[in-house]
Amino acid sequence: MAGKGKAFFDRHMEYIVANDVEGMVKDTYTEDAILFNAFPFLETPPPNIIQGHAALIDVFNRYLAYQGSINVISLYNFLDSDDAISFQATFSTANTGTWAAGDCWLMRDEKIYHHIGFAHQLIKP
C-alpha cells in the first residue's frame, strides 16, 4: 500500500478528518464526477446517483453529519493502478456504530470521475 494511489487515498482521508468536504470534492473529484452510492443514509433508498461538485458537496456534508466522527478500524484489499483505486474498510462512527464498506474510484487526470461505494452496518451503537 505504498504507491501513488495510497498517497491519494491518504490525502482524501485528511479532508474527511478535517471535515473539509468542499476542499475534498474540489481537490479529488472531477467537476463531472458521479457517485454511485449504495450507503443507506439518504431519504431515497439506495442505490443513488449523485453528480457534480455541488451535489457531491451536499451529499458528503450530509453523510458526515449522519455518521459523526469516523474511526477507520482496518483498511484491506487496497489496490491501485493509473486509472483505479479500490479498497475495503471497517470503521466505527460516533453516531451509527460499526460498518464494513467498499469503494472503487475510477480515475481521470488524477481525480475521481466515478465513485462506486457500498456499506453495511455490522454493529449498531
- Give the full edge-to-edge strand order of the sheet including 29-38: 48-51, 29-38, 111-123, 97-108, 84-93, 70-81
- C-alpha cell, 58: 451536499
Note the pLDDT of residue 87: 97
**Which residues have C-beta within 8 Å of that of residue 2, sequence separation ≥ 6?**
none
Task: Given CATH 3.10.450.50, say whether it is the number of domain 4-123.
Answer: yes
Domain range summary for the chain, segments of one domain joined by +: 4-123
HEC per residue, the chain: CCCHHHHHHHHHHHHHHCCCHHHHHHHHEEEEEEEEEECCCCCCCCCEEEECHHHHHHHHHHHHHHHCCEEEEEEEEEEEECCEEEEEEEEEECCCEEEEEEEEEEEECCEEEEEEEEEEEEECC
User: How high is the mean pLDDT of the chain?
Assistant: 94
Note the pLDDT of residue 1: 42
pLDDT tens figures, 67-110 = 998 999 999 999 999 899 999 999 999 999 999 999 999 999 99
Q: Is the pLDDT of residue 39 over 60?
A: yes
pLDDT tens figures, 85-97 = 999 999 999 999 9
